[in-house]
Structures are given as C-alpha cells and as structure tokens.
C-alpha cells in the first residue's frame, strides 16, 4: 500500500484543493467528473474516491457494467489503478475476475480475484514500486512493454500464459520478446 494511501493524505489534499481552489482542481478531471455518483466539492471539482481519476472511472465501469469484466490487465501505474478500483467492489462483482499485473505487483487481498503477477528480473522501477508485494513470475525482462526494446515484457504472451495457454511442459510459451 503506498504511503499516501496509508496516511489518507491524498484524499485530504485533493479535498482541500477542491475546496480552496475549485477551478484549479477541475483541470484534467472531466473523465472523473463524468462517472456515476461522483462526489464533488462545493465549487464542482471532483473528489477522487479510489485514488485517481482513472481508478474512479475503472471502478464505475466495474460496478455498473451489466456483465462484470472477467480480465483486467495493467502495466505499472495501470496495475496500481486496478488495485485501487477493485478494493471496494462486492464479491459478486469480483468473483471469477482475473487480474494480470505487469511490472508492478499489488496486494492480493480482494475476494474472488485470481491474481497473476509478473515482475521483470531486471525491472528496478517495478521492484521499487512493489512495496513488499512479490510476483509469482519473474520473467527475464525489464520494465518496458515495447518489443523494439528487448528484453521487453511480451504482454500478449504473458497474458496468454496467465490464461493457461502454455506449452505441454508447463512453461510459458515465450518470456523473451522477439525483435520484429
């Protein structure tokens, strides 16, 4: 859990900014302000409920979509946003959900979620952001997902691996990205 979340300082700062300078607080928040039941300060600036505007938007999709999502894939900050978004969902919305994280492992503490987490063996940034959460898989990659910059994470292959699409010997089809 990030220190800002532990201390609840991010919410306090965002709420204070929304009240003191609502015009400034609204900059870049149109997506967050458009989510259902989005709280707003007196001046109309949105207040993030789940850590960030992206987490709020994802939470709204996960909560209000008629048919629940079954697969969420997040790389780096995207993994953190997924973690924020799923924390307060009911088990009826998370049951059978598969979360694949790449380059930033998250806490595995939401009921009903099947986690598959990958952190590159050479990924110093991901290891710094791990906050004590360790992945199940350590492919010989670094932080990038760009196949032009090997040894990048092969997102499609790792996601397929998490879905059980493996070779007969039980090892992932491909951990190294290839130059194309």
Q: Domain limits of the chain?
A: 1-49, 67-180
- Peptide bond before residue 151 is cis, with ω within 30 degrees of 0: yes
Average pLDDT over residues 80-104: 93
With H, G, I as helix, E, B as strand and everything else as coil, classify residue 119. coil
3-state DSSP percent of the chain in helix, strand and coil, to 5: 35, 10, 55
Largest CA distance in the chain: 60
**Is pLDDT above 90 for 151?**
yes
Separation CA 55–CA 11 (nearest Å): 13
Q: Is 5 exposed, middle or buried (0-12, 13-18, 19+ CB in 10 A)?
A: middle
- Residues 7-20 have pLDDT tens digits of 556 667 767 767 77
Res 134: pLDDT:
92
Side-chain-side CA neighbours of 75 within 13 Å: the count stands at: 14
pLDDT bin (cut points 50, 70, 90) of residue 24 is low
**60-74, 83-97, 146-160, 162-176: segment of lowest average pLDDT:** 162-176
Report pLDDT for 37: 61
Q: Note if the pTM is more than 0.75.
A: no
pLDDT at 173 over 60: no
């Amino acid at each position: 859990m990030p220190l800002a979340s532990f201390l609840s300082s991010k919410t306090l700062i965002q709420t204070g900014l929304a009240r003191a300078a609502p015009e400034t607080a609204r900059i870049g928040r149109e997506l967050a302000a458009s989510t259902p039941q989005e709280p707003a300060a007196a001046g109309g600036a949105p207040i993030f409920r789940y850590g960030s505007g992206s987490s709020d938007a994802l939470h709204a999709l996960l909560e209000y979509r008629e048919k629940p999502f079954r697969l969420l894939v997040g790389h780096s900050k995207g993994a953190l946003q997924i973690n924020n978004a799923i924390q307060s969902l009911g088990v009826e919305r998370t049951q059978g959900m598969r979360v694949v994280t790449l380059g930033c492992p998250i806490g595995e503490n939401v009921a009903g979620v099947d986690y598959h987490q990958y952190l590159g063996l050479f990924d110093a940034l991901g290891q710094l952001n791990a906050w004590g959460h360790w992945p199940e898989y350590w492919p010989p990659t670094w932080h990038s997902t760009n196949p032009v910059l090997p040894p990048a994470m092969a997102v499609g292959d790792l996601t397929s691996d998490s879905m059980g699409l493996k070779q007969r010997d039980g090892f992932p089809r491909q951990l190294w990205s290839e130059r194309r």
